């Protein structure tokens, strides 16, 4: 077995035994990147010399103070999303405004990853400022789906998902607001978790007291995902929402997983959200794996109410905080989606903001009632599989035209709004070979519950064993009428 085919946990175990060195893993990753990158454009910025220097320090016994702690990576190469600063490495945020930006200091989550033996090997591509469900920008261009390079990899952690699926790295860091760790995971048949707000430091953002956007991990399988969440989890003085790492590590919780007793699932919130016919059929069939575990599985969904509109209202306020000043100084360099989001926020009245918060609180109370009866809540993790790489978003889902680029994201954004940890896990492929996945959510701050259910589901399907893959050329399937 080549080094790139090892799981993250297998690679870390070999590092611990001295059977492989950090430098050997860096060189294996570098060779794989050179092989597949021309076809996918997942890691447009590399820092191989920096990675080699870090590997040599670890091999010399330096920087190993956290060895033996949960989440210790021991010299494993990882990718960092290009929204997240890495000291001395070009970090553009996918924007022409910052196309030559090189930060002096790493983001706190990167500091944490490196202190636990993670080696940053490159920056993964992202839409401009992470705004978009398809990964492209004016600095680096488009990132392509390795299952079919005519298709998108999703967004906004698209480069991270592709770097995993193709074997360029073993773990990938990303962010999630309306599904940015979950949708790319689904489109690329890898796994991602949107952790509970405060689980992972957001560090230097201006929206320090807003819980909609989070940092989190992606991986090729759930045990690796748990490992990387252990790496990231914990209190950080830079982020007032953070709290201590769990007493029982996520890796241990996954290793000791027991099936949930009761599982609620919905395909579309009683018809409120669009999902195409084949994705519906694949996800419905996948629920049999929970039944095979002995779970009581029932179709149930809380009333979505006006949550879609409330999400747009509250999301737009994050854009006002982040982009209002740039709108005044660099409007001509910002893409239309960012301008639209920011202007939507600037137009919102106090009464409108109050309404959105009330709507979110009402939906949260309905979710509390759901979790009083069920252990986990399962939905499709995308309404339709990967679409044309040249498009910002699918034109329609199940024959329903989408009004804006976020309109197809509410399966994910609903869990964002209530602070539920949510894991995207593969569940099959459609007739065109496009990956399809489930989203498994749990009560807030019960990230281990979602991970445990996802781990047992993954064991049933075995889909993680298909990775990594070589990029495949293909064509764009037709839209469902």
Peptide bond into 392 cis (omega under 30): no
- As a whole number of angstroms, the distance between CA 76 and CA 322 comes to 33
The model carries a pTM of 0.98
Q: How far apart are CA 452 and CA 254, in angstroms?
A: 5
For residue 263, which phi and psi values (nearest 5 degrees)? -125, 125
Task: Give me the average pLDDT of each 10-residue run along the chain (481 residues).
Answer: 95 98 98 98 98 98 98 98 98 98 98 98 98 96 98 98 98 98 98 98 94 98 99 98 98 98 98 97 98 98 97 96 94 94 96 98 98 98 97 91 87 98 98 98 98 98 98 93 66
Which pLDDT belongs to residue 403?
83
Which segments of 276-372 are extended strands (E)?
Answer: 296-299
CA distance 352 to 348: 6
| DSSP state at residue 478 | P
Q: What pLDDT does 407 receive?
A: 82
Q: Is 14 helix (H, G, I), strand (E, B) or coil?
A: helix
Q: What is the pLDDT of residue 49?
A: 98
Q: What is the total residue count of the chain?
A: 481
The angle subtended at Cα 231 by Cα 229 and Cα 237, nearest 5°, is 100
Tokens 């990753």 sit on residue:
29
List, in order of start, the domains of the chain with CATH numbers: 3-466 (3.90.1300.10)
- Residue 68 contacts residue 111 (beta carbons within 8 Å): no
CA distance 308 to 316: 12
pLDDT at res. 211? 94
**Residue-level pLDDT at 34:** 98
Per DSSP, the residues of 44-89 read -EE-HHHHHHHHHHHHTT-S-TTTTSTT--SSEEEEEETTS--TTS
């Amino acid at each position: 077995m080549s080094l790139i085919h090892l799981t993250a946990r297998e690679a870390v175990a070999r590092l611990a035994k001295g059977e492989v060195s950090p430098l050997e893993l860096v060189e294996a990753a570098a060779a794989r990147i050179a092989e597949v990158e021309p076809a996918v454009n997942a890691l447009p910025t590399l820092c191989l010399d920096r990675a080699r220097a870090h590997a040599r320090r670890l091999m010399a016994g330096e920087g190993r103070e956290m060895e033996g702690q949960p989440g210790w990576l021991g010299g494993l190469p990882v990718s960092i999303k290009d929204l997240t600063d890495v000291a001395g490495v070009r970090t553009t945020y996918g924007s022409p405004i910052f196309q030559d930006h090189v930060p002096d200091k790493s983001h706190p989550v990167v500091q944490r990853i490196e202190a636990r033996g993670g080696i940053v090997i490159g920056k993964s591509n992202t839409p401009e400022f992470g705004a978009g469900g398809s990964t492209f920008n004016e600095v680096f261009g488009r990132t392509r789906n390795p299952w079919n390079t005519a298709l998108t990899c999703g967004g906004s952690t698209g480069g991270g998902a592709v770097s995993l699926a193709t074997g360029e790295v073993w773990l990938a860091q990303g962010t999630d607001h309306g599904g940015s760790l979950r949708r790319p995971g689904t489109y690329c048949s890898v796994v991602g978790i949107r952790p509970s707000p405060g689980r992972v430091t957001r560090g230097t953002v201006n929206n320090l007291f807003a819980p909609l956007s989070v940092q989190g991990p992606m991986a090729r399988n759930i045990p690796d995902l748990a490992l990387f969440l252990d790496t990231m989890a914990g209190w950080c003085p830079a982020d007032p929402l953070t709290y201590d790492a769990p007493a029982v590590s996520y890796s241990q919780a996954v290793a000791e997983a027991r099936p949930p007793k009761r599982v609620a699932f919905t395909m579309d919130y009683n018809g409120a959200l669009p999902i195409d016919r084949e994705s519906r059929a694949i996800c419905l069939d996948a629920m049999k794996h929970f039944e095979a575990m002995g779970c009581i599985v029932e179709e149930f969904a809380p009333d979505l109410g006006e949550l879609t509109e409330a999400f747009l209202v509250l999301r737009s306020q994050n854009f006002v905080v982040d982009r209002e000043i740039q709108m005044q100084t660099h409007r001509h360099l910002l893409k239309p989606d960012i301008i639209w989001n920011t202007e939507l926020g600037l137009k919102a009245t106090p009464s409108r903001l109050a309404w959105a918060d009330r709507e979110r609180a009402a939906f949260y109370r309905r979710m509390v009632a759901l979790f009083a009866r069920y252990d986990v809540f399962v939905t499709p993790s995308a309404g339709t599989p990967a679409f044309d790489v040249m498009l910002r978003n699918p034109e329609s889902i199940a024959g329903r035209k989408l009004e804006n680029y976020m309109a197809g994201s509410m399966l994910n954004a609903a869990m964002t709004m209530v602070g539920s940890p949510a894991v995207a896990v593969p569940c099959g492929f459609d007739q065109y070979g496009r990956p399809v996945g489930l989203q498994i959510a749990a009560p807030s701050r019960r990230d281990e519950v979602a991970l445990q259910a996802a781990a047992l589901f993954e064991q049933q399907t075995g889909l993680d064993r298909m990775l990594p893959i070589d990029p495949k050329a293909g064509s764009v399937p037709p839209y469902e009428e």
